[in-house]
Amino acid sequence: MQEKIDYPYQIRLVKYLGKAIKNTRKKKKMSQADLADITGTSVKFISNVERGKETIQMDKALVLLRALSLKLYITPDSIENKEER
């Protein structure tokens, strides 16, 4: 059973970016090959992203996000988050 992701989804590690991409791709009933064709990337690259490989090329990862209608926001940690560490 696939875990449901609630958005907005906070990404702190590359593997969570991959999880969001994989979840959205599957929701749209797309295969990795479908996404590779749409984005001009390879199935191997998509597999690496979805598995959370830390050496992915961010420019290509951003292409995947756009193709899946996902947005990536960068925000500073709040003071509360810093105090919790």
Q: What domains appear along the chain, each with residue ranges and CATH number?
A: 15-72 (1.10.260.40)
Q: DSSP of 13-28, one letter per residue?
A: SHHHHHHHHHHHHHHT
Positive or negative torsion for Cα 41, 42, 48, 51:
positive
Tokens 């926001």 belong to 73
Cα separations in angstroms, 39 against 36, 43, 61, 79, 84: 5, 10, 10, 38, 39
pLDDT tens for each residue of 31-80: 999 999 999 999 999 999 999 998 878 899 999 999 999 988 877 776 55
User: Taking the model in full, what pTM does it have?
Assistant: 0.75
The pLDDT, as a whole number, for residue 30 is 96
